[in-house]
Amino acid sequence: MKTEESKNTTVSLERRHDVSQNPMCLSGKGITRIFGTGKKQNVAVDHVDFEFREGELVSIVGESGSGKTTLSKMLLGLLEPTEGEIFFRGEKRDISTRAKKKEYWKNIQAIFQDPFSSFNVFNKIDTVLLDCINMTGGKKLPKEEKVRLMTEACSFVNLKFAELTNKYPFELSGGQMQRLMIARIFLLKPKILLADEPTSMIDACSRATILDMLLNLRDEIGMTVIFITHDIGLAYYISDTVYIMEHGRFVEHGLADEVILTPKAEYTKRLISDVPKIHEVWDLSTV
Ligand SMILES: Nc1ncnc2c1ncn2[C@@H]1O[C@H](COP(=O)(O)OP(=O)(O)OP(=O)(O)O)[C@@H](O)[C@H]1O
Ligand SMILES: [Mg+2]
C-alpha cells in the first residue's frame, strides 16, 4: 500500500491541462542566436518559432548543447536575439530601457540548475522573502500581514518560516534551497516561470516533491511554466506540450501525447528509445 508521502510524489498524467483555447502568453518568430564570428561562429539557436499559452506547461527537451539555456536567456531578456522577434501577450516585447525591462521581469521569473546562484548569500531568508512581497507592491503592508504571507509561502513548500527567519540561504540543504525558490515564486506569482533543469541537483525523492510543488503552483496561480530538461520521460509526465530541440532547432513540437507516443522526427525517436518504460505510469517515489 502507498504511504501518504509516496502518493504525493506520483506524477500523474491526469494533471495535464487543455490550454488550446487560452490566450497567448509568450511567442517567438525566427528566434536566432549566433555566438562568435567567422570560422568560430556558433549558431546556438537557429530560427525557432514557438507559441506558449497562459497556464501552459511546456517542456523544451534536448541534449546538452542543443541551445536550451541560450533560448531561456533570450526569453528572460538576459540575452539579445541575433535575429527574430519575441511577443509577450500578443504584443512585440519591448525591453529597450531599464524601466521596461524591470516591468517585464515582474511577469517572468526563473529557477535555475544551481539554486545557490539564485540568492544573494548575504541576505537572510526573511529578507529574500520580504523582497518578493515588496517587489509585488506589498511594501506598505503591516508587518503581521507580511509575516502571514511569508509563513503561507513557506508552508506551501513544507518549510517552517519560524525556523528559517534568522538563517542564511547557505545554511539550508540543497532540497530546502530548491523549496525556498518555489516559495519565492509563490509570493511573486509571475505570469511565466522558466525552470531550467530545476531538479538536476537533488535526489529522486526531493525531485518528485519539487515537481509536485511546481505542478501545484501552476494549478494554484495559473502561470505558464517553461520547463527545460534533457529528460523526455519526465517531460512526458508533466507537460501539456513539448518542443524537441536539436542543434538549435525545434525538430518537432505538439501535445505531449502526440509527440512522445507517435514521434515523427528521428531525433525524438532516439531520445525516446533511451527511456526504458515511457508507457508505464511513472511513480517517482520508487525511482
Ligand atoms: N556565452 C556564450 N558564448 C559562446 N558560446 C556559447 C555561449 N553560451 C552558449 N554557447 C554555445 O551555445 C551552444 C548551446 O549552449 P546552451 O548552453 O544553450 O545548451 P543547453 O542545451 O542549455 O545545454 P545543457 O543541457 O548542457 O545545459 C553550445 O554550443 C555552447 O557552447
Ligand atoms: Mg543548459
Q: CA–CA separation, 62 vs 249, rounded Å?
A: 10
DSSP of 198-249: TTTTS-HHHHHHHHHHHHHHHHHH--EEEEEES-HHHHHHH-SEEEEEETTE
66 within ligand 1 shell (Cβ under 6 A): yes
Cα–Cα distances in angstroms (integers) from residue 148 to residues 66, 106, 214, in the given order: 43, 22, 21
CA-only gyration radius of the chain, Å = 19
Report CA(230)–ligand 2 centroid distance (Å): 9
Report CA(44)–ligand 2 centroid distance (Å): 11
32 within ligand 1 shell (Cβ under 6 A): no
Sheet bearing 224-229, strands edge to edge: 108-111, 192-196, 224-229, 57-62, 241-246, 249-255
pLDDT on residue 7: 41
Average confidence (pLDDT) over 123-127: 90
Left, alpha or beta for 185 (phi > 0: left; psi -120 to 50: alpha)?
alpha
State yes or no: pLDDT of 286 exceeds 50. no
Cβ neighbour number for residue 122 with a 10 Å cutoff: 9
Residue with the nearest Cα to atom 4 of ligand 1? 35
Q: pTM, whole model, 2 decimals?
A: 0.88
37 within ligand 1 shell (Cβ under 6 A): no
Report CA(131)–ligand 1 centroid distance (Å): 31
Q: CA–CA separation, 201 vs 91, rounded Å?
A: 36
State yes or no: pLDDT of 218 exceeds 70. yes
Q: Percent of the chain, pLDDT > 70?
A: 85
pLDDT on residue 279: 53
35 within ligand 1 shell (Cβ under 6 A): yes
Average confidence (pLDDT) over 43-49: 98
pLDDT digits (tens, 9 = 90+) for 134-185: 988 999 999 999 999 999 999 998 899 998 888 998 888 877 888 888 899 9
78 within ligand 1 shell (Cβ under 6 A): no
